[in-house]
Structure 1
Amino acid sequence: MSKEGDFMPVWASNLTWWTLLDFYLIYILVLFILKFVFHNKRILSMFSFYIAMIILFGVASHFGLKIAKLINEELPVILLIFIIVVGAPDFRLTLESLWKETLRQGNIIMGSERTKTEIIKAAQSLSKRQIGGLITIEKHNNLDQYASRAITLNSDVSSELLINIFEPNTPLHDGAVIVRGDKIVCAGAYFILSSNENFEKTTGSRHRAALGISEITDSLTVVVSEETGSISISINGVMTKMKDESTLNEYLTLFMK
């Protein structure tokens, strides 16, 4: 009679606790890489370009193209170095965001209905007077790396304070306000400008900053144009112009749930 173990597949008989640990470590590594890549759209674009180039030259090499084969042997390392050098600022910010997001899980505080109303009132007032404004509302991704280089306020959100901050010819006029929960964390914050080429050349730095911060964090930014008085919001790398006050209210309500 054959033993029960004789019916086990070959791969199962070679399975040990060390093999399971090996697979688990690979799983954790892949999970971290995917989270890192998908956390920032610019990094995702660079990663997609890296994979596409390797596949393209790999296929060319497979069909016996000599030059492509030579390039393919060195391409992965060259591309990787190029991406690391070009994307260094994005990598640093993404790592900081992931680390601080992990620390803050389960401790996210969104603003109250009153805070939302005060932000809308301030945006409407600035719009009517054609005064530029930039109000960034924090969510999961911590924005301390920007707040640390700005003017700390830690004040309750009020339309009067927001309007006063963005008054022309004042020291904080050109920067952004960061709102966390019901508090204005800081004013005069500066963000990395978006490199999105779909913008018109006449687009100001305020709108590019609003789009830039939305590309690398999950924050929402209300931006008021100094030239036209129009109000837009930037979230997930997309800039949307607000038709009226009710539209702005709907977007903020959904975001601040």
Structure 2
Amino acid sequence: MPDWAANLSWWTLLDFYIFFILAVFVLKFVLHSKRMLSMFMFYLFTVGIFYVASLLDLPLSKEVFEGLPLITLIFVIVIGAPDIRLTMESMWKETTKTGMLVMGTERTKNEIIKAAAKLSKERIGGLITIEKHNTLDQYASRAITLNADVTHELLLNIFTPNTPLHDGAVIVRGDKLICAGAYFILSSNDNFEKTTGSRHRAALGISEITDALTVVVSEETGSISVAINGVMTKMKDENALNEYLSLFMR
């Protein structure tokens, strides 16, 4: 029997099992969103610099970077507090819907396009998020429950300025408008212009952490954009929006 096998015991196996569970938890936490992964990679980079300085016995660099990993960890926790909170909430909740995936019908898709076109023409801001595999219950639970059929008249009424729900997003699940007045964590994407409105940042933010698609209408320009998988795309016309929704809702 090999020496390493002879030294194995139940306590050793338990030790490995605990380490495995911890590693899985950390990976699940880090890989939950692109922003969490970016912050984790930044932290590893600072730890790597300190390790290289120690390995090469560089006195000045070692002294400078000695407290950097701890400082960076505190910095990441403070700056990334909203993302960390959202990730922790999502990890303890079911983020993938159970049962068969149900997407909206052709009628629902057309109603959303009609609403977006009308909002664009009148230059009224709108935020319509369509759920797919990842459940949006944690946002819907804090919004105003509707559970109504999706119609362009209802969407126009919700986003009419100076009404109680016009600032938030509506969430569509299948053929139902499950809630209105939902609020998402804003994207921290630096590629956005500083003048970009909160609706667009909210649309991009929810697309970075779920597989939902969001149609956003700008009240300043009337332009229609689609946010999905962390990418914001401006629609040229209704046909382009129809193509995006057809691919997403099939």
Which residue of structure 1 aligns with residue 123 of structure 2?
Answer: 130
1:203–1:94 CA distance, 2 compared to 1 (3 A): same
Distance 1:107 1:16 in 2: 45
Which residue of structure 2 aligns with residue 248 of structure 1?
Answer: 241
Residue 238 of structure 1 deviates from its aligned partner by: 1.2
1:191 aligns with 2:191: no
3-state secondary structure, aligned to 2:222: coil
1:27 aligns with 2:17: no
Which residue of structure 2 aligns with residue 231 of structure 1?
Answer: 224
Distance 2:100 2:90 in 1: 15
Task: Give matches, 1:81-160, under 5 Å.
Answer: 81-102=74-95, 104-106=97-99, 108-160=101-153
Distance 2:84 2:195 in 1: 29
Which residue of structure 1 aligns with residue 31 of structure 2?
Answer: 38
Picking from 201, 206, 228, the partner of 1:208 is 201
3-state secondary structure, aligned to 1:83: helix
Residue 108 of structure 1 deviates from its aligned partner by: 4.6
Distance 1:250 1:208 in 2: 23
1:179 aligns with 2:172: yes
Which residue of structure 2 aligns with residue 62 of structure 1?
Answer: 55
3-state secondary structure, aligned to 1:226: coil
Distance 1:36 1:127 in 2: 39
1:12–1:106 CA distance, 2 compared to 1 (3 A): farther
Give TM-score scaled by structure 2 length.
Answer: 0.88
Residue 53 of structure 1 deviates from its aligned partner by: 0.8
Distance 1:19 1:114 in 2: 60
Distance 1:73 1:60 in 2: 9
Distance 1:17 1:140 in 2: 40
Cα deviation 1:174-197 (Å, max 9, x = unaligned): 221111222112112222222222
**Counterpart residue identity of residue 58, structure 1:** Y
3-state secondary structure, aligned to 2:67: helix
Give TM-score scaled by structure 1 length.
Answer: 0.86
Answer with 1 or 2: which has the greater Rg.
1
Instruction: Determine if contact 2:82/2:185 at 8 Å carries over to the other structure.
Output: no
Instruction: Determine if contact 1:149/1:189 at 8 Å carries over to the other structure.
Output: yes
Q: How many residue pairs align between the two structures? A: 250
Distance 1:176 1:75 in 2: 40
Instruction: Determine if contact 1:100/1:141 at 8 Å carries over to the other structure.
Output: no
Cα deviation 1:110-163 (Å, max 9, x = unaligned): 323332222122112222222211001123333333323322211111122112
